[in-house]
Amino acid sequence: MSARPARLQAFDYLGFYRYFLTFCTADRRPVFVDAGTVREVIEQIRRTCAEEQFAVLAYCFMPDHVHLLLEGRREDADLRRCAKLARQRSAMFYARLGGRRLWQAGFYDRVLRNEESTVDVVKYIVGNAVRGGLVARVVDYPFCGSDVCDLRVLWPD
């Protein structure tokens, strides 16, 4: 098992920030190859984000991990709480299906700087399936998307 990634010590993870997150599956098992599993896990993440005042700017489920770009929508939006609840809820769903532990301990995060382009990060995240050799075009991959923008606009045919 890998060590839990450290959070930034001098940062409170509260407010109107954008966060690039990566959650890896336990033992890097290829859990996210089933549409039903992906659908339920993203719904748990969306529900939690809505309750915790975060927008899901982008997501991409690779077989053994998920990339997310979240943005706080209020001054008190707490990323640590949101990530913890999203991981707990999705893990509980997965356990009810008879699955083993869903997530490895901890997760990776990067706080985006003000000057970083949100569109560029969205393109990077949803482009993972192409770079990983799963599909030839982003629009052909069913396990990525955005709750705030139409990916077909970013990748017109």
Give domain status of residue 55, yes or no.
yes
What's residue 98's pLDDT?
A: 79
Give a yes or no: residue 123 inside a domain: yes
Residue at 28 is within a domain: yes
Q: Are 112 and 122 in contact (CB under 8 A)?
A: no
Residues 67-92, buried b or exposed e (16+ Cβ, 10 A)? bbbbbbeeeebbbebbbebbbebbbe
- pLDDT value at residue 21: 98
For the chain, 157 residues long, the average pLDDT of each consecutive 10-residue run is 56 94 97 96 98 97 98 97 98 88 94 91 94 93 91 68
* pTM, two decimal places: 0.91
In a domain, 2, yes or no: no
pLDDT at 102: 97
* CATH number of the domain bearing residue 76: 3.30.70.1290
Helix runs in the chain, H state only: 35-51, 79-96, 118-126, 128-131, 151-154
Could you give the number of structural domains in the chain? 1
What is the span of the domain harbouring residue 73? Answer: 18-154
25 phi, psi to nearest 5 deg: -75, 155
- Extract the tokens encoding 135: 């599909």
70 within some domain? yes
Is 10 inside any structural domain? no
Residue 60's nearest CA partner among 8, 130, 155, 157 is: 130
User: How high is the pLDDT of residue 1?
Assistant: 47
Mapped onto helix, strand or coil, the DSSP state of residue 124 is helix
Q: Has residue 60 been placed in a domain? A: yes
